[in-house]
């Protein structure tokens, strides 16, 4: 544990993890100075709450404040190579993250789950398995609940189940999971990392402090990649894969099968579960492997997995309108996730492309050409928005027609205009949400409300076909209709919950 009483600590970044760290540090008697380069109204409100606890807060601050500091606690969103982080290193101020801070004071073992895709689903499944098998746990970390907010509760837990991002792993020092899971490594966050190798090294840090008696549960392909970089895994290893039958756990049609000597044979039939697809098969295999090394009964684990339903924003069916399905996959913030979503969509009876894809957002430094052949097979039209829309159009226009739009409402409306019976309107952005939205969940909720608006527009109009009905939807060119849409969203989302002005075409 860190001795914090009377220490002067600088907290960098006042997102959810920075605020949690500030509160915990004050409880431990530290003198806390918290800074953030932003100064929004929401942040000012949060800052006032912290000031009432005795935290000194500076908003709109991009430099290290004057004075001496015993410790820095950096939020995951602050890049290691930013000017502020360089200044901290130059001043020899030791820096850790909120994950490291919280786990140093936690009073139970932890299970850490990382990977490019599937982290949240697997974290939820592992939490469900443990709870169903009468083990006490909480899910925390990147899933949305900071570790510092649950430290006091860990004395009553058997395990802390942690979703861990590569950003969080950059600032660990002694963080050591008893069980560490690496689900996959595919291109992502290349706006932050110089190369895929650097990104993979950040992911592999989850194993760096493990001991030979700890466990590493790793997708076979990810293990091969980190070994190609000369990175060792010091703990006991269990592998899994949906594509490699030499893995300890593998997928055969719909069956999850184990090759482990003391646990051989079929474990679970995916047909009995509520989630589908090879990517979800890997998530379940990873969770089963966690349960195995923790000696959970298989039959109880199967009971828990059969009834698990995925969280929102993950290939979530929002509505079926006139035999057109609307699917919210806002959580798909990279190309690998988009690929999995396209493969999971129901095909047309004729075999022709039947997906109206809505994509785009904040650029993460990815290249978009490689998914082209799959687009040609599955996507009949792409509607692109956000700061990457021109870049994506340049990469995709050879494979599918592309239309640039200014808002999700416009994208949903125009996609429905083009849709025919049996088509799918899919929001699967392959990009971060932070150019236009507060989070991927915020983006998914705006999509859901846009679909509801389409449905209500149809109910108001005579059923005279898509084009007639859609002429009354906002963004069709009528200022009155745009104002109607704005009024609708203002009603559906109270002030402070939705920044509505970001999502509409300006008149």
Judge whether 99 lies within some domain.
no
pLDDT band at 351 (very low <50, low <70, confident <90, very high): confident
Cα 333 from chain centroid? 7
Q: Can you give the CATH number for the domain in which 72 is found?
A: 3.40.50.720
* DSSP codes of every residue in 434-496: TTTSSSHHHHHHHHHHHHHHHHHHHHHS-S--HHHHHTTSTTSS-HHHHHHHHHHHHHHS-TT
pLDDT digits (tens, 9 = 90+) for 417-455: 999 999 999 999 999 999 999 899 999 999 999 999 999
Over the stretch 109-158, which tens digit does the pLDDT of each residue have? 999 999 999 999 999 999 999 999 999 999 999 999 999 999 999 999 99
Phi, psi dihedrals of residue 212, rounded to the nearest 5° = -60, -25
- Structural domain contains residue 62: yes
Contact 65, 58 (CB under 8 A): yes
Q: What CATH number does residue 351 fall under?
A: 3.90.190.20
For residue 113, the surrounding DSSP H or E stretch is strand 109-114
Q: In 10 A of CB 89, how many CB atoms?
A: 12
* Distance (Å, whole) CA 80 – CA 482: 43
What's the angle, vertex CA 165, arms to CA 159 and CA 171, rounded to 5?
Answer: 90
Residue pair 145/139 in contact (Cβ under 8 Å)? The answer is yes
222 and 353 share one domain: no
Q: Which residues, in sequence order, are CB contacts of 64 under 8 Å at separation 6+?
A: 10, 84, 87, 88, 91, 93
Considering the chain, what percentage of its residues have pLDDT values greater than 90? 83
CA angle 167–37–39, rounded 5-degree value: 125
* Predicted local distance difference test score (pLDDT) of residue 310: 80
460 and 323 in a common domain = yes
89-105 per-position pLDDT tens digit: 999 999 999 999 999 99
* 220-228 vs 196-204: helix crossing angle, rounded to 10: 110
Residues 293 and 197 in one domain: yes
d(CA 492, CA 429): 23
Q: What is the C-alpha to C-alpha distance for residues 181 and 218, in angstroms, rounded to an integer?
A: 6
Give how many domains the chain has, as a whole number. Answer: 3
More confident residue, 502 or 196: 196
The pLDDT tens digits for 447-488 are 999 999 999 988 876 444 444 333 333 333 322 333 343 343
Q: Does residue 311 sit within a domain?
A: no
Q: Are 287 and 363 members of one domain? A: no
- Same domain? For 60 and 34 the reply is yes
Of 238-252, 462-476, 490-504, minimum mean pLDDT range: 490-504
Q: Are residues 325 and 300 in the same domain?
A: no
The boundaries of the domain holding residue 253 are 106-306
Question: Are 451 and 412 contained in the same domain?
Answer: yes
Distances (CA, A) of 79 to 33, 62, 69, 363, 413: 19, 13, 20, 16, 38
* Angle formed at CA 116 by CA 112 and CA 120, multiple of 5 degrees: 55
User: Of 176, 4, 148, 3, which is closest to residue 76 (Cα–Cα)?
Assistant: 148
What pLDDT, on the 0 to 100 scale, is given for residue 461?
Answer: 65
Instruction: Indicate if 373 and 276 belong to the same structural domain.
Output: no
Do residue 211 and residue 346 come from a single domain? no
In a domain, 100, yes or no: no
Distances (CA, A) of 185 to 75, 225, 302, 351: 23, 8, 27, 31
Is 358 within the bounds of a domain? yes
| 403 in a structural domain | yes
Residue-wise pLDDT for 163-191, tens only, equals 999 999 999 999 999 999 999 999 999 99
Q: Is residue 182 part of a domain?
A: yes
> Helix 16-27 and helix 41-52: axis angle, to 10°?
10
Cα–Cα distance measured from residue 433 to residue 27, given in angstroms and rounded to the nearest whole number: 34
The Cα-based distances of 32 to 23, 96, 298, 353 in angstroms read 9, 15, 47, 56
Please, is 293 exposed, middle or buried when counting C-beta atoms within 10 Å of its C-beta (0-12, 13-18, 19+)?
middle
Q: Is residue 101 assigned to a domain? A: no
CA–CA dist 180, 320 (Å, integer): 40
Whether residue 238 sits in one domain with residue 328: no
Q: Examine the domain organization and report whether 143 and 80 are in the same domain.
A: no
pLDDT of residue 496: 32
Domain boundary among 306, 335, 366: 306
Q: Rounded to the nearest 5 degrees, what angle is found at the Cα of 371, between the Cα atoms of 194 and 244?
A: 85
Q: What is the pLDDT of residue 89?
A: 92
Q: How far is residue 45's CA from residue 214's CA, in Å, rounded to a whole number?
A: 43
- The CATH code of the domain that includes 209 is 3.40.1190.10
| 235 shares a domain with 128 | yes
Report pTM.
0.82
pLDDT in tens, 364-405: 999 999 999 999 999 999 999 999 999 999 999 999 999 999
């Amino acid at each position: 544990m860190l001795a914090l009483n009377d220490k002067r600590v600088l907290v960098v970044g006042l997102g959810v993890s920075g605020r949690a760290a500030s509160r915990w540090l004050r409880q431990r008697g530290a003198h806390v100075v918290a800074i953030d380069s932003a100064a929004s109204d929401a942040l000012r409100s949060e800052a006032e709450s912290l000031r009432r606890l005795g935290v000194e807060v500076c908003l709109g601050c991009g430099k290290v404040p004057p004075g001496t500091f015993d410790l820095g606690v950096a939020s995951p969103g602050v890049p290691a190579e930013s000017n502020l982080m360089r200044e901290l290193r130059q001043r020899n101020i030791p820096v850790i993250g909120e994950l490291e801070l919280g786990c140093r004071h936690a009073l139970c073992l932890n299970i850490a789950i990382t990977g490019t895709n599937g982290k949240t689903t697997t974290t939820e499944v592992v939490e469900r398995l443990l709870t169903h098998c009468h083990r006490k746990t909480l899910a925390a970390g990147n899933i949305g609940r900071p570790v510092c907010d649950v430290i006091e509760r860990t004395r009553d837990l058997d395990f802390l189940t942690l979703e861990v991002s590569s950003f969080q792993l950059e600032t660990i020092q002694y963080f050591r999971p008893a069980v560490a899971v690496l689900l996959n490594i595919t291109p992502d966050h290349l706006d932050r990392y110089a190369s895929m190798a650097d990104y993979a090294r950040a992911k592999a840090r989850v194993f760096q402090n493990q001991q030979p008696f700890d466990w590493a549960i790793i997708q076979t392909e990810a293990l091969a990649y980190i070994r190609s970089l000369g990175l060792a895994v010091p703990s006991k290893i269990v592998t899994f894969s949906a594509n490699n039958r030499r893995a300890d756990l593998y997928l055969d049609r719909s069956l999850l099968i184990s090759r482990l000597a003391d646990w051989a044979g079929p474990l679970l039939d995916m047909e009995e579960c509520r989630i589908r697809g090879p990517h979800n098969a890997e998530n379940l295999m990873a969770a089963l492997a966690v349960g195995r090394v923790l000696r959970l009964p298989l039959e109880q684990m199967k009971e828990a997995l059969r009834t698990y339903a995925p969280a929102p924003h993950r290939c979530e069916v929002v509505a079926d309108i006139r035999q057109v399905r609307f699917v919210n996959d806002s959580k798909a913030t990279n190309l690998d996730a988009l690929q999995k979503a396209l493969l999971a969509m129901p095909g047309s009876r004729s075999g022709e492309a039947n997906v109206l894809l809505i994509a785009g957002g904040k650029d993460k430094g990815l290249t978009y050409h490689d998914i082209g052949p799959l687009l040609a097979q599955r996507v009949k039209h792409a509607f692109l928005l956000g700061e990457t829309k021109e870049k994506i159009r340049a990469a995709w226009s050879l494979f599918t027609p592309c239309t640039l739009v200014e808002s999700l409402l416009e994208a949903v409306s125009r996609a429905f205009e083009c849709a025919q019976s049996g088509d799918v309107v899919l929001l699967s952005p392959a990009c971060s949400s932070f150019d236009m939205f507060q989070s991927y969940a915020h983006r998914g909720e705006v999509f859901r409300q846009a679909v509801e608006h389409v449905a209500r527009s149809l109910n108001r109009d005579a059923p005279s076909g898509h084009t007639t009905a859609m002429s009354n939807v906002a963004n069709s060119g009528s200022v009155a209709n745009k104002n109607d849409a704005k009024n609708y969203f203002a009603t559906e989302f109270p002030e402070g919950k939705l920044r509505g002005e970001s999502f509409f075409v300006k008149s």
